Amino acid sequence: MVLNQVRSMLKQISYCGVAAFALLASQTVMATSVEESIKEGLTKRLQQPVTEVRKTPFDNLYEVRVQGSVVYTDAARQFVIFGGQLYDLEKNTNLTELALEEMNRVDIDSLPLDKALKMVYGDGKNRLVTFEDPNCPWCKRLQAEFEQMDVTVYTFVTPILSPDSFTKTENILCAKDPVQTWKDWMAKNISPKKQDRCELPINEVLALMQHSNVAGTPAIFFDNGKRINGFADAERMRQTMQAKVE
């Protein structure tokens, strides 16, 4: 029962509070290191691919990266802490937050930017990438924030909220001027006119969204590898652009 709950939460990429789950070890995995043993064992038990296992600074505690989340376990895989935050009080550092930031870091140059809408605000000297649904109210609020910035925005239109989101995406991307049609809808609430069907990159964008561990819209990626999940005002985005990467 407990193991099934852990699996379910991992599949949903849930962001919940601290919860600890005891898992009884039932078999010995032959491996050349503790990390490999944990990786093999938890991949089978959680039925989710474990991408990496790292020893933490604490005795017999390992960081496990799985399905866009970070969990912690002991060498015997008897106990798993899911949804918790690990702090180094001496350094005043949230180690879980740093791990999530590292594993979710995306190189903008590796993205298929030709599939995105390109919009330049101010002198456009900075870059960021967004994933946005046309029916997402927080995405609409982003438009006014971009107007206050010097930034080039690449937006992957991501219809995930409703069937109407797909219809609007089609009518926006198939328009003669997709960028202006997007701006008119998102900033001025001018509905996109019905268009003849055209070739759309929606499946590719949805796969990219999953690969980048994007669970909802808006999601904002920055040139320095930082990201914000959700809405951010212009000042917060500027601060994130300038933030030092740990």
- 2-16, 187-201, 203-217: lowest mean pLDDT where? 2-16
- Single residue among 103, 132, 154 that ends a domain in this structure: 103
pLDDT in tens, 63-75: 888 877 888 888 8
**Do 99 and 159 reside in the same domain of the chain?**
no
How far apart are the C-alpha atoms of 79 and 22, rounded to whole Å? 5
**Do 54 and 125 reside in the same domain of the chain?**
no
- Helix (H, G, I), strand (E, B), or coil: what is residue 225? coil
**Do 117 and 74 reside in the same domain of the chain?**
no
**Do 94 and 210 reside in the same domain of the chain?**
no
How far apart are the C-alpha atoms of 181 and 10, rounded to whole Å? 37
**Do 157 and 235 reside in the same domain of the chain?**
yes
Q: In terms of pLDDT, which residue wins out, 155 or 212? A: 155
**Do 118 and 219 reside in the same domain of the chain?**
yes
**Do 129 and 99 reside in the same domain of the chain?**
no
Overall number of domains in the chain: 2
Amino acid at 135: N
pTM attached to this predicted model? 0.68
**Is the predicted pLDDT of residue 24 greater than 50, yes or no?**
no
- Single residue among 82, 103, 124 that ends a domain in this structure: 103
pLDDT in tens, 145-161: 999 999 999 999 999 99
- Give the CATH number of the domain where residue 118 resides: 3.40.30.10
Domain with 99 in it: 2-103
**Do 163 and 227 reside in the same domain of the chain?**
yes
**Do 232 and 164 reside in the same domain of the chain?**
yes
Cβ atoms of residues 118 and 111 within 8 Å:
no
Report the pLDDT value the prediction gives residue 47, as an integer from 0 to 100: 82
**Do 52 and 132 reside in the same domain of the chain?**
no
**Do 70 and 167 reside in the same domain of the chain?**
no
- Single residue among 103, 118, 139 that ends a domain in this structure: 103
Hey, which residues does 84 pair with through a beta bridge?
none
- The number of residues making up the chain comes to 246
**Do 192 and 81 reside in the same domain of the chain?**
no
